[in-house]
């Protein structure tokens, strides 16, 4: 085969390889874009609930720099819980009931235990295999931390700790 023919064949092979590289890169980029769109749409109800809670407290409580947001579904009442800073730059927590007629509660974060402390209490008292989540809630007008965890044998457990002092208020164990 002539040298010229080999060059032409090599160029064609390079083009074919380059074509597949570009197609592969495009496919990966499309998959990443689809995944990001999926994540954004999955988060939409939570963002809508946060906006609704902020709209409800507008004019009543000034909260800026919302750092955490929790949705709490209690046995009697559901709450959106906002954690952020007030005008004086102090960390506050606002419990906004789902019912428009419900009472909004506001507390300073320093007046209760932190999420880290709530988790620590559960670790020391219950020795969980894995803590699934920790979130703020409200039961009978009492601020709580709801901690959900798994035991070593895979049983699901819920414990409500008092926000003020970390005492166990209620637990549902071994589900």
pLDDT, tens digit, 9 for 90 and up, residues 145-163: 999 999 989 999 999 999 9
pLDDT, tens digit, 9 for 90 and up, residues 88-142: 999 999 999 998 888 999 999 999 999 999 999 999 999 899 999 999 999 999 9
- Do the Cβ atoms of 147 and 158 come closer than 8 Å? yes
Q: How far apart are CA 47 and CA 40, in angstroms?
A: 10
- The residue count of the chain comes to 175
- CATH 3.10.450.40 residue ranges for the chain: 44-111, 115-172
Query: What topology is assigned to 115-172 in CATH?
Result: Nuclear Transport Factor 2; Chain: A, (3.10.450)
Copy the structure tokens of residue 81. 């819980």
Determine how many CB atoms are found less than 10 A away from the CB of residue 97: 19
* Domain 44-111 -> CATH class: alpha beta
> Quick one: pLDDT at residue 163?
96
Beta bridge partners of 156: 150
- Do the Cβ atoms of 174 and 158 come closer than 8 Å? no
């Amino acid at each position: 085969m002539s040298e010229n023919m080999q060059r032409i064949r090599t160029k064609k092979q390079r083009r074919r390889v380059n074509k597949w590289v570009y197609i592969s890169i495009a496919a990966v980029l499309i998959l990443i874009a689809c995944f990001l769109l999926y994540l954004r749409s999955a988060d939409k109800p939570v963002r809508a609930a946060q906006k609704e809670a902020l709209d409800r407290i507008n004019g009543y409580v000034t909260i800026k720099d919302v750092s955490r947001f929790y949705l709490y579904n209690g046995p009697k009442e559901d709450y959106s819980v906002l954690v952020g800073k007030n005008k004086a730059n102090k960390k506050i927590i606002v419990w906004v009931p789902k019912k428009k007629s419900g009472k909004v509660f506001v507390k300073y974060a320093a007046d209760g235990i932190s999420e880290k402390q709530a988790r620590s209490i559960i670790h020391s008292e219950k020795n969980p295999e894995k803590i699934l989540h920790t979130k703020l809630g409200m039961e009978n007008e009492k601020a709580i931390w709801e901690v959900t965890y798994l035991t070593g044998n895979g049983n699901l457990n819920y414990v409500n700790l008092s926000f003020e002092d970390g005492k166990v208020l209620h637990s549902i164990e071994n589900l």
